[in-house]
Amino acid sequence: MWHSKLPSMNKWLLGIGISVFPFVQELVPASEFGYDYMTPAPSMDICPDGMCGEEMSYGCDPCNVGCEPEGCGLGLFSGLPSLGDIVAPSDKCFNDFVSPMTNPVYFEDPRSLTEVRFIFINQKIPGDNILQGGNFQVYAAQIRVALNERLSIIAVKDGIVDLNSQLLPDEEGFANVTAGLKYTLYRDPCQQRLLAVGAHYEIPIGSRDVFQGDGDGLFTVFTSGGFEFAEYGHVLAAGGIRIPANRTDNSQMSFVSAHVDYEVFEGILPFIEANWLHYIRGGAGDQLGGATDGFEGHDIITFGSTGVTNDAENGQDIVTLAAGTKLRLTENSELGFAWEFPVTSNKGPNNERNRILNDRLTVDLIIRY
């Protein structure tokens, strides 16, 4: 009796299969994977020939194991809580990368991220310059909002500056605010490579007591890229140019930054970074009554000094190195420490230091969506 029911049961199962198949085919077309339905479905860590690095309809390349399973699925927000149709989660296909730390206003991570980055900076001022030594602290929070896996809004400068100089009274005030857009031109999750471009504008609404709020603002255009090496190492690099809206009040400069890290233990990534700032054109230098001739403020502070270029072709160069460690606390958070110091002397005609940086400690905490 039991055997006699097999033909009818088989017909019943076959009928269900025929009914469901068109919906499965519409949901996940065979062409997306380069496979037909007569072969077994590929696992998420298999990269079919010719598919590596291609964007899939899921918004994530399934051949990259870093994307599975929560980062890839049907739809842009699959597996992740949604904040609506405007804000997207951070690009999860490059979770092994960590963000750079030094040159914080200009050294931008190439990934499309939704995050808050809390920053503390303690910088010592050389004693043999116009400010006669001292220090300043910065308390800031950068905000980045991904609109999709390529386009993001970035707010990279804000916060409070606490200036303690031997020359001037101690002052505290708001920093300028800088915001713009970043677009990831090239992203290859399978090879772990990215390239982004972007631009931002520094709004001069800060306090002049801490050398902010001068001029008509600063426009910056930049490019940023990165790649993975030796499975646990990463290289990031960025370069760009900062152009003042008013050349009288602010100086013009270009910059190049680089970062190399390697994950020696799970979640622990020592790194080194280098920054090169080249001044192309000086300003009027009136923030200290014209006394800042040849003396500039690195990245956070801008004096708009005269004399930062020796002639029409040769400008002042500031080169720094940094060493530090990133701690990946969770999949969506990281904590970093960096110590930065200059390797260029930057001395003026009277042997005074023409830079505001003696050394700098930077601590950051990043929380991502």
Residue by residue, what is the 3-state secondary structure of 12-61? HHHHHHHHHHHHHHHHCCHHHHCCCCCCCCCCCCCCCCCCCCCCCCCCCC
pLDDT of residue 289: 61
pLDDT of residue 222: 98
| Domains defined along the chain, listed by start | 3-67 (no CATH), 92-368 (2.40.160.40)
Checking if the pLDDT of 264 tops 80, the result is yes
Q: Within 13 A of 48's CA, how many CA atoms are on the CB side?
A: 18
Contact 257, 102 (CB under 8 A): yes
pLDDT-derived band at 288 (thresholds 50, 70, 90) equals low
pLDDT of residue 8: 44
Torsion 187-191-195-196 (CA) sign: positive
Residues 6+ apart with CB under 8 A from 84: none
Checking if the pLDDT of 354 tops 80, the result is no
Checking if the pLDDT of 244 tops 90, the result is yes
Checking if the pLDDT of 292 tops 90, the result is no
CB crowding 31-61: b at 16 or more within 10 Å, else e: eebeeeeeeeeeebeebeeebebbeeebbbb
Rounded to two decimals, the pTM is: 0.78
More confident position, 24 or 204: 204
Average pLDDT over residues 76-99: 74
More confident position, 128 or 123: 123
Contact 284, 257 (CB under 8 A): no
pLDDT of residue 273: 98
pLDDT of residue 308: 77
Checking if the pLDDT of 37 tops 80, the result is no
pLDDT single digits (tens) 189-231: 999 999 999 999 999 999 999 989 988 999 999 999 999 999 9
